[in-house]
Amino acid sequence: MKFFTDSVARCAARIGTLSGFERMPNVSFETPLLLIYTKGGSVPHLTKDVFKMVTSEKQLLSVSLPSTLSMMDVIQELDTSFADFVSMKEYIHFLSIHDPAYATTSGFQQLDSISVWSRTGRTLFTAKKYMELVQAYKPDLYVALCDGDTNSSSSAKRVRKAINRSKTLLEQCLDIHLSSDALKSKGVLGAVEGGYNVQAREESIDYLKDKPLAGFVIDGLHNNGPDVQDIPSGQVKQIIKHTINLLPADKVKVSMGCWNPATVLDLVELGVDIFDSSYPYVITEQSQALIFLCDHDACANDQYAMSITEKRYKDDFSPICKKCTCLTCQSHTRAYLHHLQHTKEMLGSVLLMIHNVHQYLQFFAAIRDSIKSGTFDQLQTRIRLKYAAVDSESAVV
């Protein structure tokens, strides 16, 4: 995998190109890039055919261990790749350790292993066991096994253990990666750990920066799940800025988690290149429709999302956004979506997910366009106004 950017600044919004995937050498992606969140290799609530109607473009899918562990034995037995097994071989796949949409159970790490929690309970992964899974799945891009179990309240002792364990696991993963004919041409990312401790981050970066890595995941800032959308950007900006300033400018930087769009823009401004789409999935699960891009007078959408279950939408026969081109807004009304949610029809989640994924793809297209045109500051101001009340109960209309 190759990453190229014209930007020489370490800490600035930038356009880049991700390419050189062995399985699909002609595919490239422009950054800032959105990883499409999946469960078990499929976009939640959407069949493959429906997803293709949402976007016909090539996408980079985010696949997590917790949602795919039940497939591991069968994939190994059939000697096939994960992409082939889930019939998504026309997409590039990115493998992550934890599911960003669900809170990761804290603790339970051991000396040389990481705990991964799925529907069937806890599974311990040593570097050897993890790399056996990676060799079976054959992802195009993956994160080396790491201990990211830290957050803003983690103790110095917990941070120290995360740093030491992640170093050991990375070394073991790289040894296997570089000696494997099946993997050495794949992209492997290293996780920068250290919680909110600047000195610990510096130590992690000193160890990582000269390793043969395709890029870096800025890890250990949260324990995933819906609560990440409520983390104030001011809480993470300084630590991320310090981290990126120390990392090589020519390597891709990734931040996983369901950050809200205002925070995404702040992180893009600092030089983060790749995010995942767990946020629109979480919003869908909360029966909300994203409207932060809609600023048309005809819609009167002055907030970031609407809670479609509210009584006010029972007789509202307008679409979520009159200028939205998604399948949901083109064919269905707020009243119909309200009805589907109250009757708990599966179609309700399908239609919301179509709209929310479409909106988020449009959001990242707008980010790239604004960087190219020099209007990134205006986009930030526009979105911040919608999320100004994100910490108050009045944030959702």
Segment 351-367, tens digit of pLDDT: 999 999 999 999 999 99
The secondary structure of the chain, three-state, reads CEEEECCCCCCCCCCEEEECCCCCCCCCEEECEEEEECECCECCCCCHHHHHHHCCCCCEEEEECCCCHHHHHHHHHHCCCHHHHCCCCCCEEEEECCCCCCCCCCCCCECCEEEEEECCEEEEEEHHHHHHHHHHHCCCEEECCCCCCCCCCCCHHHHHHHHHHHHHHHHHHHHHHHHCCCCCCCEEEEEECCCCCHHHHHHHHHHHCCCCCCEEEECCCCCCCHHHHHCCHHHHHHHHHHHHHHCCCCCEEECCCCCCHHHHHHHHHHCCCEEECHHHHHHHHCCEEECCCCCCCCCCCCCCEEECCCHHHCCCCCCCCCCCCCHHHHHCCHHHHHHHHHCCCHHHHHHHHHHHHHHHHHHHHHHHHHHHHCCHHHHHHHHHHHCCCCCCHHHEC
- Judge whether residue 108 has pLDDT over 90: no
Query: What average pLDDT does the chain have?
Result: 94
Q: Please give the CATH number for the structural domain made up of 2-281.
A: 3.20.20.105
Query: Is 242 one of the annotated binding-site residues?
Result: no
pTM of the model: 0.95
Query: Is 11 one of the annotated binding-site residues?
Result: no
Query: Is 321 one of the annotated binding-site residues?
Result: no
pLDDT digits (tens, 9 = 90+) for 190-222: 999 999 999 999 999 999 999 999 999 999 999
Query: Is 329 one of the annotated binding-site residues?
Result: yes
Outline which parts of the chain fall under CATH 3.20.20.105. Answer: 2-281
pLDDT digits (tens, 9 = 90+) for 302-332: 789 999 999 999 999 999 999 999 999 999 9
